[in-house]
Amino acid sequence: MSTSYDLGKKGEDLAADHLTAKGFKILARNFRAGKAELDIIALDRGALVVVEVKTRNTRYFGEPEEAVTKVKQKLLVRAANAFVKYKGFQGEVRFDVVSVIVDEDSTEIRHIPDAFYPV
């Protein structure tokens, strides 16, 4: 049986492959700033895209993307600001979520562009 870490890593790998196939250029993975970690940072048509990946093996507790709470969003925005400052990026920044469901029989990947806006 795989651990939740293994499941999360598999989901991030699947999400990165999915985004690359859609034409995204992956710049970084697992960028840490304070208490937050940015799963995937990519470029999409000149926009910097911060991607939060949520992976589950069942919908029993709801859709994976529902776990991106307001508290989590604030942490992601703070970490994204640190990345932008560190890299000196000037341009549009977008926050997407990739929801991954992996079970014994199938894998479902759902990309949600502009999943939330910084407040």
Q: What is the pLDDT of residues 54-91, one digit of tens each?
A: 999 988 888 999 999 999 999 999 999 999 999 999 99
- CA dihedral 29→38→59→69, nearest 10 degrees, is -170
What domains can you pick out in the chain, each with its CATH number?
4-112 (3.40.1350.10)
- Please give the pLDDT value at position 2: 66
pLDDT > 90: percent of the chain:
82
- CA separation for the pair 79, 33 (Å, rounded): 5
Pairing of strands 107-112, 25-33: unpaired
